[in-house]
Structure 1
């Protein structure tokens, strides 16, 4: 007798053997126990999670000679024929090779006839999303009102491609990807039954490589048994078979990064080069480990039995911000790997970026906790550029020292001739901007500290200092803001200044003939200078310049802002 693959030999025969799909098994069991199974069932999920297996179990439950139930006997002729794949009333149709409307019409015509052996004729249409649109339309009426002796079970890995009219006629069950621990435990049971010795870490490697699929895990186990040649399954040979032989070195590499140990990092890279691993897979694993470290740092209760002790120990050696940056570098390094001269060089460059860059710990101060001797290269802005994200930068514009109001209003009067009336000017007057820029800056600070609200505050912010003559303070209003001027708002400014100086004052506001250096105008100039400096810091950054020159990258207009904006 020919060898039977483990994936077929250990295929579940009853609902109790189906693993990781309890939500589906529970619903189907209750429906079958009451003989209330929906005539059209849709099973969705990735490959190897049990879609075909569940369909065959349903066929046994419906046609078992002991009666319809959720627990078929497994020994009657109907149950055995289903298990052996030769039950005449279970028709498994591959939609990938029967996509046309003629194939569906033939199936519909045959569905009218009574089952040959069992109670129900069960149609299992695998990869149903491969049917053409006309084939789907031909199937709609039969799906909605099938003959009483017919059950349809549709299976697909891509339910998004199904028509809404098909989905609305089916009872849909979404099968989950299986966790690593579940696949590993099942592999251990299979090996115990087969009498094959093994190391549990080796099974963990196979379970991770299965990527949520039990069938893939059993197929890889078959390969590992053949690869070992009768020897116990060990982690090293299994990693060689899977091409993940460098994964164990990743923990050493992460420890070297956390401690900033250049010599240890170099030794790790040299050992990896000797093993000739799959560098793309290593970058994926590195990103996965960093993500898990971040979870353990910020959500301590999320630790599971799948977390290796070496990984758990690393969470206290990294600063959280370093983990976030290193993860981004690993992900971007995986994306850029095809552009690297060699996969090894691309991997090493990503690791060197992790060593070279770290988030700025508050302006060049003490390195972040757990960062060891890792060098700050360019601060937060440069680190962010490594992640190829929209950049921001800070502009060092020092605010003017805040003077007292008295120091300003006691300043020498301007050369502008005094004006007697305190009422608002009825006609524009020539601009009389103070020659001393320091006076304008000091007035801006005073104007911002006045206890004013609404339009009165806007009025004083758009007015420049002209001078003082006795108890009369003279201001020049920007002509673009003349709509703000009225006697009520001028009086509010007069009261605010009198209260701040502790003496009665009068305020005259004249409309200037041209733009003036008002507090609002000075603020706009400061913002423009800060933005210009931020843009200059981005465009001159060596990493950004390299992206622009080598990859034709562009900076999105309007995406650069000062850090404190």
Structure 2
């Protein structure tokens, strides 16, 4: 094989034509327009026309590449110490700067400085011929290939043949292969040897969104950089600078909504900003962005969820018929309901509300969070997840949606399994289902919403107060206050239970803040302000003592039974191990 340095240089026009035809690049003489940056004037001519923001504000230096500081620092150190890898692999979600980074690396390695005497640098000058030519997409030694449309061995073979020749005018001949995971298995195998031992004047830069589809043999030959999703705050600031450069007024909240919807992608966010500017008027508002993104229709999803939680079957079926007539996809509606349940759960856990939701949606989520317990939320989520999978296999998705949501109506009012077990263990009765907000014990869950709203709020509050001391303890336990419920059961005797007044006699040491904590948690569990009085005498035995006395009495009665006496007389070593009450 002829040594690279002794290989004759091919004619420049011949190599350009070969690579252009083989790799599907733009025709010679058709360079791309340089991108403008926030605060700078975009170059324009009569033939350019309008350029979308994602192209107009493509980063032209590493300083303009946002959110990838770790990668930039690594590249800067490698260039400074002359430890430049022969192959780079950029991976990450769409729009985080993989291709832009590849082009910036090409400029950094081939920049010669304004005086023509410079070397590789992390801050290319942008003024020398290599920088300008790479920016305009016309440099003969920087070849970009789209692997999505050039997947075969023949396309890779052209690269293998071309790398034998030295660069025409640049320091390095650079091959940028986008979406490299689309190459066929044979194409990857054909590239392996050249990729592992390329000539000194050749650098490979790969970009992919699906790193798991790239063979391990290729990964092991590349220096890998994982480009991170860009944080929402950083994206919002960047979009603000772009809007200012474009002379458009955009609300701060609108910028945050766009950044949140972009999911870490600068390109997606700039496309949304472009659309918002065209969609809006003089000022782009957050509400306009939500409407543009279709988030305003969440009000319909919220009404469906309200009907499910309230147990309003006729109202729910009416809402479902309306959504079907509007052509809303059943799976999309189910996913929207799951998003709402997730928002309610975050609100209950004290999380910050999703900026993509309107203020009304966030207020509704907070209201539901106060009414629903964790077991109900977990049950709703699991049943919705099951319903979504049913939609994908059902012959008629609409019927599957109806059945899944009717199942949710039934499950939304079911009592907490933990409360059922606790009630059974204490010998208390368990209702067949928990009452929905506004429902009375005689309701069957099918009355119209207006009839529920007609009930006086005062009556609802009084009906919600526990009937006796044991029910009061159970209400606290159901609300997640297990520790204080145990103390009420084991350490205090009841003096008087007259809701909302409760008098107790301590039978064991209690915390100094016991009364205040109990009043606070009782209000949260029942919605009523309670007066807690600790008396020095007059209290009944604790509930635990009462249970122990009842068990001892039952044991005595059993041992006194003639049949048991006959057994113990015949078998003196026999012992009564466990006493179970009726129904347990």
TM-score, normalised with respect to structure 1: 0.59
Establish whether residue 23 from structure 1 lines up as the match of residue 77 from structure 2.
no
Quote the residue 1:148 is aligned against: 200
Return the alpha-carbon distance in structure 2 between the equivalents of residues 376 and 35 of structure 1.
78
Question: What whole-Å deviation, never above 9, does each CA across 1:287-306 have from its counterpart, x for those lacking one?
Answer: 234224324434x4677877
Aligned partners of 2:52, 2:282: CA distance in 1, in Å? 19
Query: In 2, Cα distance between the equivalents of 1:217 and 1:353?
Result: 39
C-alpha distance 199-326 of structure 1, shift in aligned 2 (>3 A):
farther
CA deviations over 1:338-395 (Å, ceiling 9, x no partner): 5679877766665554444235232345987996649999xxxxxxxxxxxxxxxxxx
| CA drift at 1:11 | 1.1
Map 1:123-522 onto structure 2 (within 5 A).
123-200=175-252, 202-203=254-255, 206-228=258-280, 230=281, 232-234=283-285, 238-239=289-290, 241-250=292-301, 280-298=331-349, 300=350, 310-311=361-362, 313-314=366-367, 315-337=369-391, 353-358=407-412, 359-361=414-416, 362-363=419-420, 364-365=430-431, 373=439, 406-407=559-560, 411=564, 473=571, 497=574
Out of 55, 75, 83, the position equivalent to 1:8 is 55
1:252 Cα deviation from its structure 2 partner = 6.1
C-alpha deviation, 1:92, in angstroms: 0.8
Residue number in structure 2 paired with 1:72: 124
Q: Is the CA contact (8 Å cut-off) linking 2:317 and 2:402 kept in structure 1? A: no
Please give the secondary structure, in 1, of the residue aligned with 2:224. strand
In 2: Cα distance, 1:231 partner to 1:349 partner: 47
Separation in structure 1 between the aligned mates of residue 233 and residue 53 of structure 2, nearest angstrom: 19
Aligned-pair distance for 1:62?
1.0
Distance in structure 1 (CA, Å) of the matches to 2:179 and 2:275: 26
5+ residue gaps, structure 1, are 378-398, 414-466, 474-493, 502-518, 520-529, 531-563
Q: What per-residue deviation string (whole Å, max 9, x for no partner) do you get for residues 423-476 of structure 1?
A: xxxxxxxxxxxxxxxxxxxxxxxxxxxxxxxxxxxxxxxxxxxx67x6x63xxx
C-alpha distance in structure 2 between counterparts of 1:410 and 1:208, whole Å: 76
In structure 2, relative to structure 1, the CA distance for the partners of 1:111 and 1:249 (3 Å cut) is: same
- The aligned residue for residue 101 of structure 2 is 54
Residues 75, 333 of structure 1: alpha-carbon distance in 2 compared, 3 angstrom cutoff: farther
Q: Is the 8 A contact 2:61 2:123 kept in 1?
A: yes
* Cα displacement string for residues 399-434 of structure 1 (whole angstroms, at most 9, x for unaligned residues): 9x7678855896586xxxxxxxxxxxxxxxxxxxxx
Deviations 1:163-212 (A, max 9, x none): 22111111222223345554444333322221233445555554455444
Q: Secondary structure at the match of 1:125?
A: strand
Deviations 1:482-540 (A, max 9, x none): xxxxxxxxxxxx8x64xx69xxxxxxxxxxxxxxxxx9xxxxxxxxxx9xxxxxxxxxx
CA distance in structure 1 between the partners assigned to 2:253 and 2:394 by the alignment: 33
Q: Specify the SS of the correspondent of 1:357.
A: helix
Check the 8 A contact 2:256/2:355 in 1, yes or no: no
State the partner residue of 1:423: none
- In the comparison of the two structures, how many residue pairs are matched? 403
| SS, match of residue 60 in structure 1 | helix
Aligned counterparts of 2:564 and 2:55: Cα–Cα separation in 1: 96
Q: Is the 1:42–1:171 contact (alpha carbons within 8 Å) kept by the matching residues of 2?
A: yes
- Which of the two has higher C-alpha Rg? 1
Q: Point out where structure 2 has 5 or more consecutive residues left out of the alignment.
A: 1-47, 114-118, 421-429, 446-550, 578-582
Q: Report the CA distance shift for 1:135/1:340 in structure 2 as closer, same or farther (over 3 A).
A: closer
Following superposition, the deviation at residue 223 of structure 1 comes to 3.3
> Which one is further off, 217-226 or 139-148?
217-226
Structure 1 position 54, deviation (Å): 0.8
Distance 1:352 1:192, change over 3 A: farther
Alignment equivalent of 2:136, drawn from 73, 84, 103: 84
Shift of 1:127: 1.4
For the Cα contact (< 8 Å) 1:243–1:277, is it kept in 2?
A: no
- Name the counterpart of 2:497: none
Question: Structure 1, residues 301-324: CA drift from partner, whole Å, max 9, x if none?
Answer: 677877865537344343222222
Contact 2:261–2:356 (CA under 8 A) maintained in structure 1? no
Structure 2 CA distance for partners of 1:131 and 1:339, relative to 1, 3 Å: closer
Partner residue in 2 for 1:37: 84
